[in-house]
Amino acid sequence: MRALILAAGRGERMRPLTAHCPKPLLEARGATLIEHHLRALAGAGIREVVINVSYLADLIRERLGDGARYGLCIQYSDEGDAPLETGGGMKRALPLLGPEPFLVVNGDVYLELDFASFCARACPGLAHLLLVPNPEFHPDGDFVLLSGGTGQARLRACGAPRMTYAGIGLFRPELVSSAEQTTFKLAPILREAMTFGQVTGERFDGFWSDVGTPERLEQLRRF
């Protein structure tokens, strides 16, 4: 399985830390955020990784190179000066990801996940998402997991109780390949697919942090 790490955003909420450093290259717990992912992916047996880049892309390339030092082969999907949003970024990267289901990892989260076990899950529909209990900064959540257990279950866009998308998922190319837009968000595409029962998910209760603000980065560093 190939993996796509999303690293193209400008990190506006992280300023001034991201004025001269892309958010995935911010450091916590002995490595940059994106390097934690690379090491975890290599440990899970994944060898081919695509990273989408835009803002300060050269700094990411310089730091990570071709991936050999991590035991990986890294390719870059360059979105130019204007990031294409999550959905558009996934669509742009499809030629590098191939026709099979692939793993998507947000470059600005930190979590302690067994990627090998997660990637072994079936993806019966168009997407399979990792969900976490709602953090304080996102109390309303994103989607409803129709089963309260830890196994795979269908997701619904409306209703309660809702959980938060962790920024980790398995996706089939068909989810975004037919989109007519170049720049578009992922959430509306997922919600539409949910109406056809094409999205599943599972609950994750391990350590997870969305490093969206300088304060949350500092909390992660103290963890």
> What is the per-residue pLDDT for 11?
77
> What is the per-residue pLDDT for 151?
65
> What is the per-residue pLDDT for 209?
94
Strands across the sheet containing 153-156: 73-78, 48-53, 3-6, 102-106, 164-171, 127-132, 199-203, 153-156, 144-145
Q: Which residues pair with 202 in a beta bridge?
A: 130
Q: Which residues pair with 210 in a beta bridge?
A: 109
Domains of the chain: 3-222 (3.90.550.10)
The average pLDDT across 156-181 equals: 95
Is residue 87's pLDDT more than 90? yes
Q: Rounded to an integer, what distance in angstroms lies between the CA atom of residue 23 and that of residue 36?
A: 13
Residue with the bigger pLDDT between 122 and 191: it is 191
Is residue 2's pLDDT more than 60? yes
Q: What is the DSSP string of 72-112?
A: -EEEEEE-TTS--HHHHHHHHHHHHH-SS-EEEEETTEEE-
pLDDT band at 122 (very low <50, low <70, confident <90, very high): confident
> What is the per-residue pLDDT for 10?
84
Per-state percent for the chain, helix, strand, coil, to nearest 5: 30, 25, 45
> What is the per-residue pLDDT for 12?
80
Is residue 148's pLDDT more than 60? no
Residue with the bigger pLDDT between 154 and 149: it is 154
| Residue 7: closest CA among 83, 63, 68 | 83
Is residue 147's pLDDT more than 80? no
The average pLDDT across 61-87 equals: 96
Q: How far is CA 195 from CA 10, 30, 176, in A?
A: 32, 42, 16
> What is the per-residue pLDDT for 150?
53
